[in-house]
Chain A
Amino acid sequence: MLNFFQLILIYAGVYAIMAIGQNCITGYTGMLSLCHAGFFCVGSYATAIICKVLGFSFWLSLPVAAIISGVIGFLIGVPTLRLKGDYLCIATLGLGEIIRNVATNLNPVGISQIPRVELFGYVFMSRNKWAFIILIWAFVLIFYLLFQRLLHSRIGRAMTAVREDEVAAASNGIDVTKYKIVSFVLGAAVGGIAGCFQTAYTLTVSPASYTFMVSVMVLCTVVLGGMGNGKAVILGAVIIQFISYFPQLTGLTNVIPAQAKQMIFGLILVVMMVWRPQGILGRDKFRYGCEKKRLFGKKKEGAV
């Protein structure tokens, strides 16, 4: 039981990182991207190859995964983001499948027995789940803070403007295409980093695990919590993972078919869109000019 809770926390952390990336793309800039599974896959393989094949440290694989995912995002983004409309989601749907196809063709069995993560001499063992929970959630916090700051900076505000109204954004001197590309690349890079942590925990990668379902789960996470709201997205990740592991948690794996949870994800998307498109927590209204107070409030929270 505790075991499953720990598992949920670990995967919720990984998905929260991914969802922070997806949130940057979908929540901030209002673009629908459906290939987070692809970036996740790229990140996982980056760690696997760097640690196992090349023998470097796990920590090196983080920036490498981010850069490779970012470059792939850039290459797919440049032709599709110039255009109006929803071409991005089709292009990314195809890209996700292609990344998985390439991985399957090049490496059908996957890579296993990847060296463990080490930090200042401490080795993260898979059975010591608390260590992983701390490691992953520390990064969730880092990415949350980084992206929250992005959202409330000039750059993030311009992204929001692009989401709200592209024509008006252009009339305010915002280069719409550039901001879309930046947002997409950042989101992709974070998706890649999430893949690194997945590998760090499971110590194996297999091309079969990066299906379209992963992309939909991430999307679901963002939609459920609330698009554009950092805290909400993390909450969404916990809920989605809880649903995902509910059968194991309750020991009903034999009663509940595997497809049930995926149907629930589909239902979540439809139901949320129809009844509460802003998500559980909704948008967070940022009051500029009250920053000093907010910062103080945050510190207090941290002390407790």
Chain B
Amino acid sequence: MGTFTLYMQYIVNGITLGAIYSLIALGYTMVYGILKFINFAHGDVLMVGAFVGLLVYEALAGAAEPGMWTIFCFFIAMVISMAFCAFLGMFIERVAYKPLRNANRLAPLLSAIGVSFILSNGAAWIFGTTSRRFPYPFENEPIHIGGVTITPHQILVIIVSVAMMVLLAFFVNKTRMGKAMRATSLDQPTSMLMGINVNRVISLTFAIGSALAAVGGMLAAFDFRVYPSMGTMTGLKAFVAAVIGGIGNIQGAMIGGVLLGILEAVGAPLLHIPNGMRDTVAFAVLIIILLVKPDGILGKNEREKV
């Protein structure tokens, strides 16, 4: 295989990976945009999403041969998992973050770490710590296009993520609720005075972010398997993606995710970094971004008003 096609292959893999990061990064970025804090529990919501998806899928599809029925089951599982996580996200917000809205800066962060710990250990308690494989709902026969291999699951990942992002973009830019959401992220007190129900907007933000994380979790499950601590590293990388794009910026999260995916997939072989150290690449990228352009690609320079 030529070097060019090899790198094309890496880029294709990177885009798939990046699409997943983007979905998860959206949750971080939306919450940060509105509440200005990092929702540490987001990575664990992703894990819950993957588990719920897996359980529903297994219950529905059972040992059925991959085909139309299993693909249908997969989407049903996805919808149920999204709904479950949306409620979970809203519940977490109500219980652990809402009482802290006027507390100091550290309080919600600490609370979020607590929630993250409860979720991941709760999952370990219920499901055990062994990792499970998410069965492919279809024959995963690779397709070759001019030397580059694409698996159907990669196509699924890309289609689902693009669909989700288009839906989100439509929602945020074209609907009344989306407008309320943007207004709230710009200026919370003023939006409140304009008659926007800020509590509802925040709940909705958590619901949407968590639902997207559920999708991200299920898609990530094909590659990374499903286990209680799967959210930590994936969540961390998605956060890096959000920072790359400019935290608080929705388009930024989408671009940042794909960019990080490509950097990770291309950077590791290019710099001869062993597979085990690939996570370090994402982290190094974070440090470099923080040093060079802390506001990210699309972020605006936010200064505290004196």
Q: Do chains A and B touch in the complex (CB under 8 A)?
A: yes
User: Chain A: residues with CB nearer than 8 A to chain B?
Assistant: 26, 30, 32, 34, 79-80, 83-87, 89-91, 93-94, 97-98, 101, 105, 167, 212-213, 216, 219, 223, 227, 257, 259-260, 262-263, 265-274, 277
Contact B125 A263 (CB under 8 A): yes
Q: B219 an interface residue at 8 Å Cβ cutoff?
A: no
Among the listed A97, A219, A260, which residue makes an inter-chain contact with B125, where contact means beta carbons less than 8 Å apart?
Answer: A260
Given known pairs A80-B290, A259-B125, the reply for A269 and B100 (CB within 8 Å) is no
Starting from the known contacts A259-B125, A267-B114, A274-B111, 13 additional A-B residue pairs (CB-CB under 8 Å) come to A26-B106, A32-B106, A80-B287, A83-B294, A97-B236, A97-B279, A227-B106, A262-B117, A263-B121, A269-B114, A272-B110, A274-B100, A277-B107
Interface centre among A216, A269, A271 (most CB of B within 10 A): A269
Contact B38 A216 (CB under 8 A): no
Contact A259 B109 (CB under 8 A): no
List B contacts of A273 (CB < 8 A).
96, 100, 103, 107-108, 110-111, 114
CA of A213 to CA of B114, assembled, Å: 11
Contact A86 B117 (CB under 8 A): no
Contact A86 B37 (CB under 8 A): yes
List 13 contacting pairs A-B, 8 Å CB cutoff, sorted by A.
Answer: A79-B291, A83-B290, A87-B290, A90-B240, A97-B233, A97-B236, A98-B280, A101-B276, A167-B306, A259-B124, A266-B121, A269-B114, A273-B96
Contact B106 A30 (CB under 8 A): yes
Contact with A along B100-130 (1 / 0, CB 8 A): 1001111111110111111101101100000
Interface centre among A34, A167, A227, A266 (most CB of B within 10 A): A266
The 4 A-B pairs with the shortest beta carbon distances in the complex, nearest first, are A269-B114, A266-B117, A266-B118, A270-B114
How many residues on B have C-beta within 8 angstroms of the other chain's C-beta atoms?
45
Contact B110 A32 (CB under 8 A): yes
Contact with A along B270-306 (1 / 0, CB 8 A): 0000001101100100110011001000000000101
CA of A276 to CA of B243, assembled, Å: 32
Across the interface, name the chain A residue whose C-beta is closest to B124: A259
CB distance from A72 to the nearest CB of B (A): 13
CB distance from B76 to the nearest CB of A (A): 30
List B contacts of A268 (CB < 8 A).
114
Contact B110 A269 (CB under 8 A): yes
CA of A219 to CA of B112, assembled, Å: 13
Contact B294 A87 (CB under 8 A): yes
Contact A90 B118 (CB under 8 A): no
List B contacts of A98 (CB < 8 A).
280, 283
List A contacts of B99 (CB < 8 A).
274
CA of A26 to CA of B286, assembled, Å: 22
Contact B236 A90 (CB under 8 A): yes
Contact B290 A91 (CB under 8 A): yes
Contact B239 A262 (CB under 8 A): no
CB distance from B253 to the nearest CB of A (A): 15
Across the interface, name the chain B residue whose C-beta is closest to A80: B290
Q: B191 an interface residue at 8 Å Cβ cutoff?
A: no
Contact A265 B38 (CB under 8 A): no
CA of A223 to CA of B112, assembled, Å: 13
Contact B115 A94 (CB under 8 A): no
Given known pairs A273-B103, A274-B100, the reply for A89 and B109 (CB within 8 Å) is yes
